[in-house]
């Protein structure tokens, strides 16, 4: 195989109550990694399109090529050479799982080019390594759903225990990216290391409610369970007019609304495409009122995850 | 109706990872409340059998009759009179939901005698009031499953939001009550008010895993999710040889094992009756090794909850 293109979708991590344990993929946007075989061994970044020159161009430091080198080393392959073109189709530091999408597209592409030495599930630890290179910690709540698709639960990190749960057919996501930037490391730094037992119990109740609501297609239960008493109250202060934008979503048909990943993107879940579109319009309008431009994406839950693109 | 008998089953609250939010009912044992209509208004405790004289005999102070008086007041009924006989079929302070079973049997019985002014779901706040009289706080993780049956999730206490989730047909509970006593208030007192964010996330993962495992009939996932990193490490110190008894259950076919409610009873969940019986034998033998007698109860999950008994 002389060339491969892989697509990996944007993702919403945390999903209100599920800090570090829940994530789901959306259909668009997604990053694309293009590989072209070379005779010369080694991995070279030929181009990165759409990052405004911000990502590292050195193969070791860039998370996409970093995981590829990691995988080649793991397989003991020394004579492989390729050129990489990364198409960044979402902003960096947006809370849309940007670094995860790139890493996942990277591992999917090289795995395909190498003749699929790994199953999709086996690619997960490699993609997580990309998260470590990009942000310092190997989280799975973006790479998991970007790779596997669907609504993903990470029961445990050590050992890694990850599974998907079914979601109702008529569930739609609204993702709104305001034109401001939050550093993932900062967003993690402001969190408190201790949680009251009372809030832990409340959050556990909502986690149980959201899983059961999704699996039962009980939209009311989903709505009542999309409550985050631990993370949202702290991180939302980094997003201008967060409460008002959230209220705009809820007043316009959304079941629930919270921060996507570590922000500043916000997401809402709605029953039906019309509600999801109405929430999008209302959220964008409310950000505009605060003088902030925003990009909106409305889609069903992406059940397939990353994929190889054929020309 | 001149006489009514109601049965309410024992329950397992917390269920490993679900402190204050999970509970399920078992088939036996259960308390029975017998009411006999009198001409004289007022509620009189005629007898309490099986409590070794430890429960209050005054109608206001006893939680069973206390909730009945509360219900009559709520309905504005002043001319009602009855005699109450309470058959305590489980030990007090056992972690088997003893006070909850009595309160639930009480509200079921009086509701029946009054011609069912309340639905079963509506009886819940009254039964919770019985828990407040008995233990000082109106928890629902025992009264919920004792009243409603099945595996109960309490998503929120304020407002009260409670629902049941399906469990696999072949799931059996082993409940072992060692002959030692723990005061519920003490068991709550030793808990820490703060939880690390790390442990909160781990517990949330297990809560999500247990709900999904039960709903998917995924016994392996149920097993992996029956992990409590917050409460069990603290409360288990009150139970002699807890670790060894737990290991005996796990080595003899149980999917998981933890403290029932605030203890000292311990429960295990197993796939199939044979495993549940083997776990029971092993747990009792291990307690015996520590010089502690214990009573064992093996049953499927009780799907019906409390019921009116007909002679």
Is the predicted pLDDT of residue B237 greater than 70, yes or no? yes
Residues B69 and B184 in one domain: no
Residue B39 has pLDDT above 70, yes or no: yes
Q: Are residues B225 and B119 in the same domain?
A: no
pLDDT digits (tens, 9 = 90+) for B242-263: 999 999 999 999 999 999 999 9
The radius of gyration of chain A's CA atoms, rounded to the nearest angstrom, is 19
Residue range B47-52: mean pLDDT, rounded:
93
Averaged pLDDT, A142-168? 96
Looking up residue A248, the CATH number of its domain turns out to be 3.30.70.890
pLDDT score, position A283: 98
Give the nearest partner residue to B205 out of A156, A194, A224, using CB atoms.
A156
| Tens digits of residue pLDDT in B121-144 | 999 999 999 888 887 788 899 999
- Which CATH number belongs to the domain containing residue A89 in this structure? 3.30.230.10
Residue A61: pLDDT over 70: yes
pLDDT for res A187: 73
Task: Give the pLDDT mean for A19-26.
Answer: 97
pLDDT for position B135 = 79
A122 & A204 share domain: no
Distance from CA of A113 to the nearest CA of B (A): 34
Q: A9 pLDDT band (50/70/90 cuts)?
A: very high
CB pairs under 8 A between A and B: 124
Beta bridge partners of A178: A294
CB distance A195–B191 less than 8 Å? no
Give the pLDDT score at B189.
81
Q: Please count the structural domains in chain B.
A: 2
Average model confidence (pLDDT) for chain B? 95
The whole-number pLDDT of residue A84 equals 97
Quickly state the pLDDT bin for A133 (edges 50, 70, 90): confident
Please report the pLDDT score of residue B184 as a whole number: 65
Asked if B14 and B100 sit in the same domain, the reply is: yes
ipTM: 0.95
Looking at the fold, whether A159 and A205 belong to one and the same domain comes out as no
pLDDT higher than 90, residue B60: no
Same structural domain for residues A144 and A194? Answer: no
Reduced to 3 states (helix: H, G, I; strand: E, B; else coil), residue B255 is: strand
The answer on B137 and B74 residing in a single domain is yes
Question: How close does chain B come to A219, measured CA to CA in Å?
Answer: 14
Taking CB atoms and an 8 Å limit, are B205 and A165 in contact across chains?
Answer: no
The verdict on B10 and B123 lying in the same domain is yes
Residues A160-200 have pLDDT tens digits of 999 999 999 999 999 999 999 777 677 778 889 999 999 99
pLDDT score recorded for residue B131:
87
- B158 and B13, same structural domain? yes
Q: Looking at per-residue confidence, does A189 or A305 come out higher?
A: A305
Write the residue in B21, B200, B208 that is nearest to A211 by C-beta. Answer: B208
3-state secondary structure chain A: CCEEEEEEEEEEECCCCCCCCEEEEEEEEEEEEEEEECCCCEEEEEEEECCCCCCCCCCCCCHHHHHHHHHHHHHCCCCCEEEEEEECCCCCCCCCCHHHHHHHHHHHHHHHHCCCCCCCHHHHHHHHHHHHHHHCCCCCCCHHHHHHCCEEEEEEECCEEEEEECCCCCEEEEEEEECCCCCHHHHHHCCCCEEEHHHHHHHHHHHHHHHHHHHHCCHHHHHHHCCCCCCHHHHHHHCCCHHHHHHHHHCCCEEEEEECCCCCCEEEEEECHHHHHHHHHHHHHHHHHCCCCEEEEEEEECCCCCEEECC
B131 is catalytic: yes
Asked if B154 and B178 sit in the same domain, the reply is no
Q: What is the mean pLDDT of residues A98-125?
A: 96
pLDDT (0 to 100) of residue B133? 85
- A39 lies in which domain range? 3-165+303-309
Residue A32's pLDDT is 98
Averaged over A93-119, what is the pLDDT? 95
Q: pLDDT tens, A189-237?
A: 888 999 999 999 999 999 999 999 999 999 999 999 999 999 999 999 9
- Asked whether residue B17 falls in the same domain as residue B156, the answer is yes
Contact B205 A22 (CB under 8 A): no
Q: Do B141 and B39 reside in the same domain of the chain? A: yes
- Residue B278: pLDDT above 80? yes
Span B62-89, mean pLDDT?
Answer: 95
B98 is in an annotated binding site: yes
pLDDT of A274 strictly over 80: yes
Element of type H or E holding B271: strand B266-271
């Amino acid at each position: 195989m002389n060339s491969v293109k892989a697509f990996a979708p944007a993702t919403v991590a945390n999903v209100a109550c599920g800090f570090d344990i829940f994530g789901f993929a959306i259909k668009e946007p997604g990053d694309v990694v293009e590989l072209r075989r070379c005779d010369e061994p080694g991995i070279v970044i030929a181009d990165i399109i759409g990052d405004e020159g911000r990502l590292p161009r050195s193969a070791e430091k860039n998370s996409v090529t970093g995981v590829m080198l990691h995988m080649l080393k793991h397989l003991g392959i020394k004579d492989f050479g390729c050129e990489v073109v990364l198409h960044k189709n979402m902003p960096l530091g947006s809370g849309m799982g940007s670094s995860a999408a790139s890493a996942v597209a990277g591992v999917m592409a090289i795995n395909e080019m190498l003749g699929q030495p790994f199953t999709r599930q086996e690619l997960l630890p490699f993609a997580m390594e990309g998260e470590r290179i990009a942000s310092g910690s190997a989280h799975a709540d973006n790479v998991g759903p970007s790779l596997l698709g669907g609504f993903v639960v990470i029961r445990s990190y050590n050992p890694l225990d990850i599974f998907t749960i079914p979601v109702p057919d008529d569930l739609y996501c609204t993702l709104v990216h305001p034109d401001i930037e939050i550093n993932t490391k900062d967003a993690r730094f402001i969190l408190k290391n201790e949680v009251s037992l009372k809030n832990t119990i409340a959050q556990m109740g909502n986690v149980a409610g959201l899983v059961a609501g999704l699996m039962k297609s009980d939209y009311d239960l989903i709505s009542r369970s999309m409550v985050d008493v631990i993370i949202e109250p702290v991180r939302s202060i980094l997003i201008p007019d967060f409460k008002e934008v959230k209220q705009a979503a809820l007043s316009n048909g959304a079941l629930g609304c919270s921060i996507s990943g570590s922000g500043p993107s916000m997401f809402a879940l709605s029953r039906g495409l019309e509600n999801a579109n109405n929430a999008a319009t209302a959220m964008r309008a409310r950000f505009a009122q605060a003088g902030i431009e925003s990009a909106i994406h409305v889609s069903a839950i992406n059940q397939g995850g990353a994929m190889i693109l054929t020309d």
